[in-house]
Amino acid sequence: MIFTQLYSTLNKDGKKYLVDLRVWAKMTLDSSRYQQFLSDMSELDQIAKNTTTSEPIYSQVDLNSKSKIVIGTKINYGGDQAPSYTEKYNQWQQEFSNDPNVIYRPMVRVE
């Protein structure tokens, strides 16, 4: 099962940043909440490490340039279903998607 997720846009300090869940957390959570986030993500990483692979999705800056930027991630869960995420992961994902400073782009199944 393969999904893509383009980075979301975080508006912070008058600037726009392309972010995924982890970058959003680093940029927005206070120190204690960020430490909890890291602990929760460590659990998820252990669950997914043997079954999940990912690769960056690139976009060329302009047609005359060879410069590329990463705009998202392609995730291959292996098998016929995505792994069940922990309740903690779902809570963090919900907080990320509900942040009023974020234009959220959800994960989309492609295969």
CB 28, CB 92: distance < 8 Å = no
Neighbour-count burial for 39-75, b at 16+ CB within 10 Å, e otherwise: ebbeebeeebeeebeeeebeeeeeeeeeeeeeebbeb
Q: What is the pLDDT of residue 82?
A: 62
Q: What is the pLDDT of residue 33?
A: 98
Q: What is the pLDDT of residue 84?
A: 62
Q: From start to end of the chain, where are the E strands?
A: 2-6, 8-12, 15-19, 53-60, 68-76, 102-103, 108-109
Total domains in the chain come to 1
Q: What is the pLDDT of residue 71?
A: 94
Q: What is the pLDDT of residue 91?
A: 93
Q: Which domain holds residue 73?
A: 2-109
**Digitized pLDDT (tens) for each residue of the chain, 111 residues in all:** 899 999 999 999 999 999 999 999 999 999 999 999 999 999 888 878 888 899 999 987 666 777 788 999 999 987 766 666 678 888 999 999 999 999 999 989 997
Among residues 39, 5, 15, which one has the least CA distance to residue 25? 39
For residue 49, the 8-state DSSP code is: T
